[in-house]
Structure 1
Amino acid sequence: MPAAVTSSPGGAPRRRAADMAYDAIETLIVTLQLEPGSPVVEAEIAERTGLGRTPVREALLRMTSVGLIDQQPRRGLLVSGIDLADHLDVVQTRRVLETLIASCSARRATAAERKDIVRCAEKMVKAAARGHLDDYMAADHELDRVNHRASRNQSAVMGVAPLIVQCRRFWYAYQHEGDIVEAADAHMELAQGIATGDEAAAVAGANRLLDYLERFARRVIDN
């Protein structure tokens, strides 16, 4: 979910500890360092991330609310599983929100945001060409942040954020079935549509990306 910020005495934005904890735990889950079905122990997470137990506890509660973590009787907190059939619903729901966000960003992005989103897409294309999944995912995450900010549509962003996390985790789990070069090209089409203010082109780029993610999911399910 989008991270909140506060202002430091000098006026620079300062992120809340709970938001930093959320991002740190999300990374552990998405990259499968915390595997599906594995127990989530608050004290261990706090030690692993170097953050206090209070922000970790708040982050875990948020993750439970969006389905990244399950709370089960007598078993405590567990990393949620990856349901292959349900993942198609995730992708299809994400499509609706991503096309809306793309359209909003094409209309509302500032000149600086338009440049930034193309820069992020270029980083994705370069990482994909080298076959560096971690660099690709980092650039993808950065692109999403810029795109979401540029959309000025907080409702859509809050809805799509947990779906994107599920898709990233799916990537790490089944990357042998994927093609990040194709996905990077779709992101570039999306970025160029936003950069030029062409809503139809931006929406076409978003749809191209979700078409690919749906094919990717179906390949995994069929195999």
Structure 2
Amino acid sequence: MQQVATEARGEAQSLAERAYRAVRDRLVMLEIRPGAPINEDQLAQSLGVGRTPVREALKRLQYERLITTYPRRGTFATDVNITDLAHISEVRQELEPLAAAQAARRATPTDRATLTALRRELDDADSRRQDDAELLHLDLQVHRAVYAATHNPYLEDTLVRYDNLATRIWCLFIDRLPDMAGHVGEHGPLIEAIVAGEPEQAAELARRHVEGFERAVRAAI
């Protein structure tokens, strides 16, 4: 009986995690538009899960500032406020170089293989001239792989949250940003530095990348 209960809890957690990741990425990529109402029943149906996993996912997303709930009004995707750019960049300019350096020091053979595969995807994306949405998905994959390679769950969780918020700003101005491929392509040398175990170089490249992101968005406003 205890084993059955444990398995049931594990399944519920798995469904909640799946719901969380799916809804999170829809919010990050603005597939759920800023200010749009969040309907639990519709989300549950579209994800093929019950309302309980969706409700658990929404609790996490509210903490991560991707949704907000108003009494007697309901739950909505948070607005993307350009005034948040400076605050987000301030955090990322400190933590992204730290994460890149730690990834260069701590990456396991599996981490390095994952990053090397993403490096090849970057090259393929450049040759195929993928659209901006595909490039943004690849950008998110690279950032999350770097954060995972730090083997610091607190640093990883923090940076995933801030990268998600930064990506929403990027998506808002994507039609005004002419060199999306160039921005994503900057990850190539960063990955090479991490895989080669060069923390100082990795940190410097990460710092330049974050600074370039802020400059590009401000130029597009």
TM bucket, shorter chain: 0.7 to 0.9
1:99-153 Cα distance to aligned partner (Å, 9 max, x none): 1111111001123322321321331343245042233223223323322221111
The yes-or-no answer on 1:104 pairing with 2:102 is yes
Partner of 2:52: 54
For structure 1, list consecutive stretches of 5 or more residues without a partner in the other structure.
Answer: 1-7, 9-14
1:174-221 Cα distance to aligned partner (Å, 9 max, x none): 112322222123211210110110111111121121021111221233
Write the mapping of 1:29-68 to structure 2, written as runs, cut at 5 A.
29-68=27-66
Q: Secondary structure in 2 aligned to 1:84?
A: coil
Partner of 1:12: none
Contact 1:128-1:136 within 8 A present in 2 as well: no
> How many matched pairs?
209
The more displaced of 53-62 and 131-140 is 131-140
Write the mapping of 1:174-213 to structure 2, written as runs, cut at 5 A.
174-178=173-177, 179-213=179-213
Percent identity between matched residues is 29
Distance 1:217 1:92 in 2: 15
Partner of 2:157: 158
Aligned-pair RMSD on alpha carbons?
Answer: 2.0
Distance 2:103 2:45 in 1: 39
Distance 1:31 1:108 in 2: 30
**Structure 1 length normalisation: TM-score?**
0.86
Contact 1:189-1:201 within 8 A present in 2 as well: no
Partner of 2:138: 139
Q: CA deviation at 1:36?
A: 0.6
Instruction: Quickly say closer, same or farther: Cα 1:205–1:152, change in 2 above 3 A.
Output: same
Q: Secondary structure in 2 aligned to 1:54?
A: helix
Q: Secondary structure in 2 aligned to 1:33?
A: coil
Rg comparison, structure with higher value: 2
Distance 2:117 2:205 in 1: 16
Deviating beyond 3 angstroms after TM superposition, the runs of 4 or more aligned structure 1 residues are: none
Q: CA deviation at 1:30?
A: 2.0
For structure 2, list consecutive stretches of 5 or more residues without a partner in the other structure.
Answer: 1-6, 8-12
Contact 2:147-2:160 within 8 A present in 1 as well: no
**Structure 2 length normalisation: TM-score?**
0.87
